[in-house]
Chain A
């Protein structure tokens, strides 16, 4: 009995220290973020991005979008990407061995012909390229289509990077809707940096479910009706508005979303491009790029843009949410394992001392600690060893702190970008915040643990499908 009592006390002390560190880091990150976001907003007001984006002097960029079996939506997606305000852009669509009529539709609509001027080989390994096409119609002069054997998203992106002609590459998903001036905003930090090389920039990704889209552009922002999706809206606001800005401030940002990120092509190639077979290829790419810069002693930055620039569809059912979170968890552990050399390694600077250890302790370990804590709680409750008053006090505190972060994120959203302006939207979001700890958080914790177990047991899970409901078309 004595042993168990001591063990329990040690575990309690560990959880207490862990919680204080965790809560403290959340607070610190949130406070950092406010200052940075305010600074960004003030700077934003001086520049007319629309005018500058249409300038022929704007830097050339290659916008890469992958497509796999997207026949029904591919033309809408291309139209949407082509409607972006940016003069010097090549849009590279990579057809990753689609089994449907994706390529046929592109060839017919865009009037494509084989382009022999681009070499099909490059420095990054990828599955064989069957053909490269360009349009004969001047309207589609910016479009290049690559047809290749199926190899997954990372493989397709590598093929696109090989064929891209510009220094700056922007990676996006074909089904994302980008804000009109998003490209210039993403490239700006690359041009602004004078003493350190900018290697990657990422923007805020928001959820598009139930929003209205007209001619490939977002025409009305609505709060999703589905509670699961609405909770993800809150989760995204919290992660993007409170988290990433602070990481960017200390130059410790590790994730640039795969849905929308801008990269220095030379550095991407130098570090080997996207990792094939990775379930978190976006996370892995940024860590690899940072590692390359650290190992070569090159001063660099990864910057985050706190503005909503990209809108994407979120899973609307527990089944697809589970697929997504399971994959994210597998991606996290894969990347941490691959880059384990950097953990607590001072020669990797912020990456080795702060960023990677943070992900290890608070992203990777958190679901396990929560799970173990829950099991211990169950055992103690069954054996009547719980001091319920003490438990209630702790529960109230932890719940209160969670709400505090969520409400703080909502306040930040309202006082900065204020995207949800329909009557009742913010109240719905606050309601979702109140419910979140009781159904959403336990579920995503469960999915993450399942993801780790799946990877450990080498279960073949693949990418994990997600059913897309498509955008609501504006009348």
Chain B
């Protein structure tokens, strides 16, 4: 019985040690919550101020329409605040956000602001960061702000092992070079997800009316996601000249390609919509024969 009591006493002490540890962690957590709330409130206020000042500046620029780099006058308190890295980070993100929602001359003005405030140095530092999210942020900022000199750096990142980095790099290439930026497709090592294709096509919509590079290489290439993407590009830009190649792709061994090719031709009114079974059967038929329902 003594042994049992000793055992119980030992386990009780052990539990109190654990409890004390848990209490200590609880105190740290409680303090963490309060500190985090303060930090959030401070950052929120800072962000609000920067956004408000940026909005005023933007409104002023909209009134004057063509503000060049030389004409940009920043309020002194804004200029002083810009010495802080946090403020510069917020402003750079704000510029990118505005850029995404505006079109035309205003974009050039925003780029001018970005250049004048020398935010590119900060974005370049992000681009060279080893952390994936910073690298991707850097790509986004530099490409949105038309920093053409970094195109070769960015094209190297279109095959980056991190999904977010390579997605941003691919989008960045289109932002910088337009349809010519699609050259990254020639050396693509990873499949383009449906999401990325949607993003790229959305970006490409800005260039309707601009001549696209030759699509044959992509349509007849071995990277299946690139073939699907190329068909979608043809459909989006109404490139009827590639109808022959796309017709042939209805007999491709890959299901997604067959379906996409058929949908594209159907969209153009050149064929009817086939079921998967019909498309599979068509695989066995020689290329010269047209598909029949």
Contacts and interface: CB of A to CB of B under 8 A. Distances in A.
Task: Summarize B's interface: helix, strand, loop or mixed.
Answer: helix
Contact of B198 (A57, A194, A411): A57
B26 A192 contact: no
B137 to A, nearest CB: 7
Contacts of A47: 199
A418 B40 contact: yes
B81 interface: no
Given A393-B19, A394-B15, A397-B15, A407 B29 contact: yes
B205 A57 contact: yes
A347 interface: no
Contacts of A397: 15, 18-19, 22
A43 B191 CA distance: 19
Contacts of A396: 15-16, 19
A404 B26 contact: yes
Contacts of B55: none
A323 B37 CA distance: 36
B33 interface: yes
Nearest to B16: A393
B273 to A, nearest CB: 14
A46 interface: yes
A43 B15 CA distance: 42
Nearest to B197: A191
Nearest to A410: B33
B65 interface: no
Contacts of A190: 194
Interface centre among A46, A48, A401, A410 (most CB of B within 10 A): A46
A410 B36 CA distance: 11
Nearest to A420: B37
Task: Summarize A's interface: helix, strand, loop or mixed.
Answer: helix
Interface in B169-201: 191, 193-196, 198-199, 201
Contacts of B164: 42-43, 46
Contacts, number: 101
A51 B199 CA distance: 10
Contacts of A415: 36, 40
Contacts of B133: 42-43, 45
A397 B37 CA distance: 27
Interface string A385-409: 0010110011011001101100110
A390 B191 CA distance: 60
Nearest to B194: A191
A52 interface: yes
B40 A414 contact: yes
B195 A400 contact: no
Nearest to A187: B195
A136 interface: no
A415 B37 CA distance: 8
30 contacts: A45-B133, A46-B136, A46-B140, A46-B164, A46-B168, A48-B100, A48-B101, A51-B101, A52-B198, A55-B198, A55-B202, A57-B202, A57-B236, A59-B198, A190-B194, A191-B193, A191-B194, A192-B193, A192-B195, A192-B196, A193-B193, A387-B12, A393-B12, A393-B15, A393-B16, A396-B19, A397-B19, A407-B33, A410-B33, A411-B33
Interface of B: 8, 11-12, 15-16, 18-19, 22-23, 25-26, 29-30, 32-33, 36-37, 40, 44, 93, 97, 100-101, 133, 136-137, 140, 164, 167-168, 191, 193-196, 198-199, 201-202, 205, 225, 236
Given A194-B193, A411-B33, 16 more contacts: A45-B137, A46-B136, A55-B202, A55-B205, A57-B202, A192-B196, A390-B12, A396-B19, A397-B18, A400-B26, A401-B22, A404-B25, A408-B29, A411-B36, A414-B40, A415-B36
Interface of A: 42-43, 45-48, 51-52, 55, 57-59, 188, 190-194, 387, 389-390, 393-394, 396-397, 400-401, 403-404, 407-408, 410-411, 414-415, 418, 421, 426, 430
